[in-house]
Chains A and B, each alone.
Chain A
Amino acid sequence: MSVLETYDLSIRFGGVQANRDVSVTVGEWEIVGVIGPNGAGKTTLFNMVTGFYTPDTGRIIYRGRDITGMPVHERAALGLGRTFQNVGLIKGATVRENLITAQYLQADYSVVSGMLGGARSLRTERMLRTKADLLAESLDLGDLLDTQVAGLPYGTLKRVEIATVLATDPDVLLLDEPSSGMGPEEAHRLGDTLLDLRQRFGLSIVMIEHHVPLVVRVCDYVYCLDFGEVLTHGLPNDVRNHPQVVAAYLGEDPDPAVVELESQLESLVEGG
């Protein structure tokens, strides 16, 4: 049974068709790769799935439920967790604080009772802290718990970010370029981590990734996007050797206007 499906998602920013009729299916416990040249609309797809953008047309189905118009935080509550291309962490806080903040939905007390220091809130807080520590230990981040996030190397940030998303207790993990900023060695280890996490947490994973060896090793299925459309999809090796995929990667550059607009939109939403 598929966990996450999108049907014919399309979105247009001004004159640019960022996504056109993108249909993707993610099965239970599957790791799905999304590849494609810069500006192909991969992150746009993520933004629609997680709720930052509303598609012009198309539907998003999560475990049989239509979540197309649902706000971001409600989707998070359903179990959609995501990371960001440029690291989605609270930079001013320590690793532990990030991990505790991310457990917002598991903190089973009202904000007001937390403010009044109710017994239940105090108990829950201790539990959250323990969970954060355990999670960090299990991801080899134990030594960094009290370190402020700002200032950590990029590759480490990516790992901290994955730990943070896991702290939100997701069913489906959407990872935006998890291996960026990592060397080949580190990227290889990331592959192991992802496979391990899938098993331990029972996750389905969708990842945007440029590092082809990682994709081929880890992914069960791959979608290749180009100019906002699904160019081809299939098993990793088939997609890698698909002539159109090769052409898309090595051929002419994508329309600079698309790249420009996407980055502008990104920064608009970011800086808003």
Chain B
Amino acid sequence: MGAPVTVTSPDAAGPVQEVAEEETPAVTRPGRFRPSPLGWVPRLVVWAVIAWVVLIVPLGHSAIDLQDFTRAVCYAIVALSLNVLLGYVGQISLGHAAFVGIGAFMSAYMVTTQGQSFWIGVLAAGAIGGAQALVLGGVSLRIRGLYFALVTLSYGLVAEENIFQIESFTGGGAGQQAPKPQWFESEWRYYYLCLGFLAIVLLLDWRLMRSKGGRALLALRENPRVASTFGINVRIATLFAFVVSGVIAGLAGALIAHNDLGVSATTWNFNLSLVFVIMTVVGGLRSRYGLVIGGAFFALMPYFLEKIPGLDNALAKIPAPFDLTPELAPLVVGPLLLLLNLIQFPGGIGQQLRPIARWLGGHRFDLHDRGLKEVQITDVRA
């Protein structure tokens, strides 16, 4: 950031200085930093540790624990889906549980009621997720900000109370069965399957943001007028982003459904929508690794709390009008972290980890490289 604007190349000190046709001395900008072979060693060690934690460590755990880990992976996908709306389009969705839930039910319905394969179920879940997002995207062209948040909120409630109560589709109160796919019946295989899907979503997101579609979205989020003078069709771009978000959400829903072996309507409530929004913002908008960590962190919070010995007893002693369970933790911890976000760290976990991530990517370690300046704080207000 504060790098010197121009430096003469180190070779310039050499005995013979070849001057090009022009009289002006050759000025070069600092070349891209590349770590020495030795510099790669600690980086590779850290990469190996990350791979070990993600790929190997879960294998040593019980099937029930693995189910939790798989959910963490699914939540990461949800965070990436919501990030497309919050981070790229700049619209907040308070009904994302419905986006995800409808995918879950669709896949379960296709597999259990229609007798189709898991893969068809996933495709159908993505399709219906995209379709419903397209409708809401149409709404978002007319209404923005908090009003749009209200529309999504009511959509989420309507989905929970009505759409998810349609007996023939969702199995009513009993819910719908969702068996694991062939070859992936065991928990650890299914965990790897979900990791694979996460990798695909990450890849798509990365390519999107490195191509014209993603740039168009960032431009119109900040200034739709300027974006349109660049020749960007603001309506089409917005709708496209909604569809992308919806498809990913539907996919995540399907994966969650088959992980839990079933879906029921009560899962997809407003609380979950809130947790989704919080984990996305706390994870860090527009930061892929931040979002993955944020999603996984919130999904695993109850799991880790259950591991703390004696916590159940301690919670039971606290006089409260309702049962305190670890499941409520995200709703308590989440808002606190969100406050911290708003006050101190607009870029969330992603912003905090950016120096490390840059270092892992083969850059210099720069503690102050947070990649954010004041303008980007604005979107946390959403």
Which residues of A are in contact with B by a Cβ distance under 8 Å?
A: 50-52, 71-73, 76-77, 81-82, 84, 88-93, 97, 100-102, 104-105, 107, 109, 111-112, 114-117, 121, 125, 142-143, 148, 150-151, 165, 168, 269-270, 272
Say yes or no: A150-B211 contact (C-beta < 8 A), given A72-B229, A73-B232.
no
- B: residues with CB less than 8 A from A are 5-6, 29, 144, 203-204, 207-208, 210-216, 218-219, 222-226, 228-234, 237, 240, 244, 373-376
Contact A150:B374 (CB < 8 A) given known A92-B218, A114-B212 = yes
List the A side residues contacting B211 at CB < 8 Å: 107, 109, 111, 114-115, 117, 121, 125
Q: Are A101 and B231 in contact (CB under 8 A)?
A: no
In the bound complex, do residue B225 and residue A269 qualify as a contact, i.e. CB atoms below 8 Å apart? yes
Instruction: Flag if A91 contacts B222 (CB, 8 Å).
Output: yes
Contact A102 B230 (CB under 8 A): yes
Nearest to A149 among chain B residues (CB) is: B375
A90-B218, A101-B219, A115-B207 known; A148-B230 Cβ under 8 A: no
When C-beta atoms are compared, the residue in chain A nearest to B205 turns out to be A115
Given the interface contacts A84-B225, A92-B375, A114-B207, does A100 sit within 8 Å of B231 by beta carbon? Answer: no
Quote the shortest CB–CB distance from B217 to chain A (angstroms): 10
A148 & B373 in contact (Cβ 8 Å cutoff): yes
Please name 21 pairs of A and B residues whose Cβ atoms are closer than 8 Å in the assembled complex, sorted by A: A50-B229, A72-B225, A77-B231, A88-B223, A90-B218, A90-B223, A91-B375, A97-B215, A104-B232, A105-B230, A107-B211, A107-B212, A109-B211, A111-B212, A111-B240, A114-B213, A115-B208, A116-B204, A148-B373, A150-B373, A150-B374
Across the interface, do B233 and A150 meet the contact criterion of CB distance under 8 Å?
A: no
Alpha-carbon distance A121/B233, docked complex (angstroms): 19
Question: How far is the CB of B346 from the nearest CB of chain A, in Å?
Answer: 11
Q: Which of A100, A105, A148 contacts B215 (CB 8 A)?
A: A100
Partner of A76, one of B212, B224, B231: B231
Besides the contacts A104-B230, A104-B231, what 14 more A-B pairs have beta carbons closer than 8 Å? Answer: A51-B228, A52-B225, A72-B225, A76-B230, A84-B226, A92-B373, A92-B376, A100-B215, A104-B216, A109-B212, A111-B216, A114-B207, A117-B211, A270-B225
Residues of A within 8 A of B144 (CB): 272
* Distance between Cα atoms of A201 and B117 in the complex (Å): 58
A165 to B226, CA, bound (A): 10
B230: chain A residues at CB < 8 Å are 73, 76, 101-102, 104-105, 168
CA distance A116 to B358 in the complex (A): 24
Cβ of B224: which chain A residues have Cβ within 8 Å of it? 272
The answer, among A93, A109, A125, A168, for a CB contact under 8 Å with B229, is A168
Contact B231 A168 (CB under 8 A): yes
